[in-house]
Structure 1
């Protein structure tokens, strides 16, 4: 027995609440539904277009709709840029630490590098952090000479990364041994910072010349040695 069939028996069952009442769909209902679906598909197909692609459609589409999407896209871009508060690896000193790190970490994530220029791994890490600061502008990146941050801090513990967030230190990395020392690649540091929550891959910005290629990292590491006047 088909419960949707229009029979006398089914009518009796519907009358006594055994079968649900039959809802009749008219041709107008089908037409209205099809029109609404087509309208939604037409609107949403513009969602993934950039501003240039929207410009290309200007001759074929309604100007009012295109202008609405263009304004919406510009507003989204402006909102993203408004959150890009930083963008460079800054050098701070001991008197700045509380303001620039501890207090500031209540509002954003902060990555602090304790370093000394005489240590090759520190120079390598500073270069990587400088690039990451440009790629993740919603995170503050700072460096401070180790003994200015922690008096008598041993060079054997360098480089050291301190990660701050929510007004307190959330993670620390002592030395680059886990990544292979001078064989450390930028993507190793990037993955670590992502794992501890200091950076968000969804907020990454493209930077001309920045590369995650391992071969490029190897060449760059060799250059660090040369710059320090040492050959390894």
Structure 2
């Protein structure tokens, strides 16, 4: 008679007890069901306008109050983020604007910035018609959109620094708290550069 060692029988239990059959492998525990989402988790999936509708259609006053409070907090958070991301583009400046738009602007602390780190300002010096300068300008525009909390300004190189040689453009000067934190000269003159390798804004 053949014995199926995997069967759960008294006979197999006796054989295991005497060491004739190996012990049964323990049955793996059933996986725990995922926790039920909280009310906040559910609300997080909806837009502010959808939350407004849900609040109006709430089955009772308490639910309406909770949804309205959640929506109010969501709107406040969104406004705060909008204020932090207050730039988002490249601002052309002239030489007479430099102190105000670059040096002084880098001293402005963000709202709720307890560390008073100031604002990162990237000044891009360029010259039209120089291919590496034109390519870098494209990268700078993309970075300005990607990092809206950093201020990006552009100025023609020799309008900013008189007699600036073409060999030194494009140039990036990074300010924070009124000081120059980084300077990149003739970006892309030695080889083709990519946007990923040029984030001087932090």
Q: Give the TM-score category using the shorter length.
A: 0.5 to 0.7
Which has the larger Rg? 2
Q: TM-score, normalised by structure 2?
A: 0.65
| 1:184 equivalent among 180, 183, 193 | 193
The answer to whether the 8 A contact 1:115-1:145 is kept is: yes
The answer to whether the 8 A contact 1:115-1:122 is kept is: yes
Q: Structure 1 residues 185 and 193, CA, compared in 2 at 3 Å: closer, same or farther?
A: same
**CA shift digits 1:125-166 (9 cap, x unpaired):** 111211222232221111111112112222112111100111
Q: What root-mean-square deviation, in Å, do the aligned CA atoms of Structure 1 and Structure 2 show? A: 2.8
The answer to whether the 8 A contact 1:113-1:143 is kept is: yes
The alignment partner of 1:193 has SS state of: coil
The equivalent of 1:49 in structure 2 is 45
Map 1:127-166 to 2 at 5 A. 127-166=138-177
The alignment partner of 2:123 has SS state of: strand
> Gaps spanning 5+ residues in structure 1: where?
1-37, 198-232
Q: Where do 4+ consecutive residues of structure 1 move more than 6 Å?
A: none
The equivalent of 2:200 in structure 1 is 193
The equivalent of 1:202 in structure 2 is none
The answer to whether the 8 A contact 2:94-2:159 is kept is: yes
Map 1:26-105 to 2 at 5 A. 42-46=38-42, 48-51=44-47, 55=51, 58=54, 62-105=63-106
Q: TM-score, normalised by structure 1?
A: 0.57
